[in-house]
Amino acid sequence: MKELENGDLLLDNGITVSAWRRTRTEVYSRVVGYLRPVSQWNKGKKAEWADRICFEAKKQHNTAQ
């Protein structure tokens, strides 16, 4: 993904999204036990956010009866 000079967004698949169609979204994440907007975090927490790795845990089936 790359932002063009005119504000349009060029996606990895080659599709261009016009600047007027883009919408700002707020991302929330849990820090110190409660949800906060990432945009309001201090510099240190924002640096940690950039280093985070997202993953999905697979559900295990309990086979013990």
Cβ distance 39 to 26 under 8 Å? yes
Cβ distance 37 to 26 under 8 Å? yes
Residue 26, pLDDT score: 92
What are the residue ranges spanned by the domains of the chain?
A: 25-54
**Is the pLDDT score of 64 beyond 80?**
no
CA-to-CA distance for 7 and 63, rounded, in angstroms? 53
Helix (H, G, I), strand (E, B) or coil at 43: helix
CA-to-CA distance for 19 and 3, rounded, in angstroms? 9
**Measured CA distances, 3 to 6, 19, 46, 51 (Å):** 8, 9, 21, 22
pTM, two decimals, is 0.45
**4-31 pLDDT tens trace:** 999 899 999 999 999 888 888 898 988 7
